[in-house]
Structure formats: structure tokens, C-alpha cells
Structure 1
Amino acid sequence: MRNVIYAINTTLDGCCDHTKFYPDEEMIAYFTQLTRDADTFLYGRKTYQLMVPYWPDVAKNPSGDRKADIDFAQAFEAVDKIIVFSQSLDSPEGNKTRIVHTGLHDEVIKLKQEEGKNILTGGVAIPSQLAALGLIDEYHFVVYPIVTGEGRQLFDGINLEEKLNLKLVDSTSFKSGAVALRYLKQ
């Protein structure tokens, strides 16, 4: 069975608003490797529209971008499919994106049973729903040594029936002081 991996950048105070901080090349390399180990993305509309067309455009027109950004863009483009859960989005960009309007649980169970690499998700809304449904197998949090005091919060609006227990299985420290923490669901 394939793993669903939730990977996100966050600050010490739980802010995961991408406009409040920007990952350096080491962090982008970390996410590039996660992306290379996946062949499917699960997004909500907001995260999808942040990622597409931005990263595909960088892959097509890499001039002026950092090497780490280009590497990530190429890894992003190599992913086979993007599943977007949205009530308002009608048409996808490109032929590897599929819009799903209902059935998050059933769709993810079906994807997990297919052959392939990892399934990667990011953002807040869809991962919060996936966590509440018990469908996330691994959590990768890259924690920046910053306190923003504002912005979208990690697991904002999550509704758990019972506490989610995680086991720390790996950690990586970066020159910037950020730390990548990898947890498995217990």
C-alpha cells in the first residue's frame, strides 16, 4: 500500500503561510527529494493554485531562477498526477490534473491501493481532513526558527475524534537553524 505523506513548512508558532517566510536552497532540496519519491499530489484548490502554474512555468522557463528552484520545478513536473479536491474549481490546468468534488476518503483509499510511489499532500485544509480521517501515514514538518505572530496556522480547523499520536523517526538540522521533523502515524 502506498503512503500518504504530509509535508509542510511551518514557523515555531505554527504559521504555515508561505508569504511570511521563504525556504532557502537547503529546504527546497529537502522538498525536492520528497517530490522525487512521489508520483501523486493531493491538493485543495488554494494549494493547487499556488503550485500550478507557478512550478510548471519555472520548469519550462528556468532562466533567472535558483538552481534549487529549477530542480524542484523539474521534480514537480515529473509527478504523474495531481488530484485536486475542490467544490469551486471546474477545470484543471494540464492533462495530469483531475478535479474531485466529493468522496475524499474513498478517493484516497483507492489511490493508496494503486501501485506506485508515495502520495504527497501539502497546504492546510485537505491535510487537516486527511489527518482527521486517519489517512496520513507520514508527517514532514520543516520548522523555521521564526515567530510570525500571524498567518494561517498548521492544522487550522482540524476536527479529531481522538488524539493523533505520532512517533518521531528522523530529524535533520539545516544551516539556517530550521529543523525537518519526520513523524509516522502510530
Structure 2
Amino acid sequence: MRKLASFLFISLDGVVEAPDTFVRPELYQDFSPLIAQSIAGQDLVLMGRKMYEEWFAFWPASDIQPFSGFINTVPKLVVSGTLTSTEWQGSSLLAGDVATEVASLKATDGGTIGVHGIALIESLIHARLMDELHFVLVPAMAGCGRRLVSTAAEAIQLDLISAQTTPTGLQHLVYTLRSG
């Protein structure tokens, strides 16, 4: 059985949107090892339409390693109710009910499925399908921007499975959703 894992940069005040607005330049030196760690074992990427459009505009022409080499070659499934086709090499649309299709994907053999896109990750958390949430806690307060969960009726409990501090003070925190 496959697992779903997300990787998000998060500010101290909980913002996950547009990390380029709150990450200081000197912190970037610690990103490559964290990203390499995150993508190791992933053989499929699941992303929402907005993330697909943003990344398709940037990553095919990028040589920022290790992520560009990974994202430009890995198969990508795009969740969208509006797109009718995809242009990025190795990408295709995920048709049908998202929760049902993702549950079916998880039941297949293979590596980890990386999940990208705030709305998609949130919906998969609510559907209890996310297995791991990887956060890189950035020592900054963004002040404004979207948080990961905006529609929870009650607290979502997590269990910490690992924590790592980088030389520049980033915290790489890996959580699972608490069952029950």
C-alpha cells in the first residue's frame, strides 16, 4: 500500500501560501537536503490545478536541483474540474471523485505519492487519506496568507514522527494524522 505525503513551508504564524514572501535568502542553502529527503521514494505526484499551472509555468525551464530533475520526470496526476488536458510532460488528469480515486491509488503497489496544492492537501486531510505531513517551519511570521486548514469543524490531531533542525534554524517536522 502506498502512502500520501505532502511537503510544505510554513511560517510561525501558520501561513503555507507563497513561501517566497517569508523565506530569507540565507535559508535557501538548507532547502536542497530537505527536498531531496522528501522526494526520495516518491514515484508519483498528485497536484491541484492551481499548483499545476504555477509549476508548469516555472519548473520545465528550471535547473534548480534536486527538485527540477525530479518534477520534470516523475508522473504527475492533476486534480481539476476545469482542465480538459495537460501539456507538461508526464502529466495527466485524475478523473472521477477525488477521494475515491486517491484511495484506489493508495491501494496499488509503488512508492510514496507526493501531494502538492493547499486545497488538495486540505481535502485529503478531511477525507483522512493523508499519511504524512512534512512541514519546514521557517523562523518568520508571514502576517497574512493562506493557512493549510481553513474549514475544520474541530481540531485535527497529529502525531510527530520526526523532527530535524538545520544549521540556519529551519525545523523539518513530519507528522501523521492521529487515528480515531
TM-score by length of 1: 0.85
State the match for 2:58 in structure 1: 54
Between 85-94 and 95-104, report the one with greater CA deviation. Answer: 95-104
CA distance in 2, matches of 1:146, 1:75: 28
User: Are 1:152 and 2:141 counterparts?
Assistant: no
CA distance in 1, matches of 2:95, 2:131: 23
Q: What is the aligned-residue RMSD (CA, Å)?
A: 1.8
Q: CA deviation at 1:146?
A: 0.3
**After the TM superposition, which residues 76-115 of structure 1 pair with which residues of structure 2 at under 5 Å, given as runs?**
76-79=71-74, 81-115=75-109
Between 37-46 and 22-31, report the one with greater CA deviation. Answer: 22-31
5+ residue gaps, structure 2, are none
User: Are 1:129 and 2:123 counterparts?
Assistant: yes
AA partner of residue 2 (structure 1):
R
Q: CA deviation at 1:53?
A: 4.1
State the match for 1:65 in structure 2: none
Count, aligned residues: 174
State the match for 1:11 in structure 2: 11
**After the TM superposition, which residues 53-72 of structure 1 pair with which residues of structure 2 at under 5 Å, given as runs?**
53-58=57-62, 62=63, 69-72=64-67
CA distance in 1, matches of 2:29, 2:70: 15
**8 A contact 2:73–2:90 mirrored in 1:** no
Between 21-30 and 10-19, report the one with greater CA deviation. Answer: 21-30
CA distance in 2, matches of 1:170, 1:130: 21
Of 108, 114, 120, 2:114 maps to: 120
CA displacement 1:47-70 (0-9 Å, x = unmatched): 112222422221xxx3xxxxxx22
Q: CA deviation at 1:41?
A: 1.0
Between 134-143 and 81-90, report the one with greater CA deviation. Answer: 81-90
Report SS of the residue matched to 2:99: helix
Of 144, 162, 169, 1:177 maps to: 169
Report SS of the residue matched to 1:78: coil
**8 A contact 1:139–1:182 mirrored in 2:** yes
CA displacement 1:4-63 (0-9 Å, x = unmatched): 0121001001111224134613223312331232011111111112222422221xxx3x
AA partner of residue 70 (structure 1):
Q
CA distance in 1, matches of 2:8, 2:156: 17
State the match for 2:21 in structure 1: 20
Between 123-132 and 46-55, report the one with greater CA deviation. Answer: 46-55
Q: After the TM superposition, which parts of structure 1 deviate over 6 Å for at least 4 consecutive aligned residues?
A: none
CA distance in 2, matches of 1:12, 1:21: 10
Q: Alpha carbons of 1:159 and 1:101: their partners in 2 closer, same or farther (altered >3 Å)?
A: farther
AA partner of residue 7 (structure 1):
F
TM-score by length of 2: 0.87
State the match for 1:66 in structure 2: none
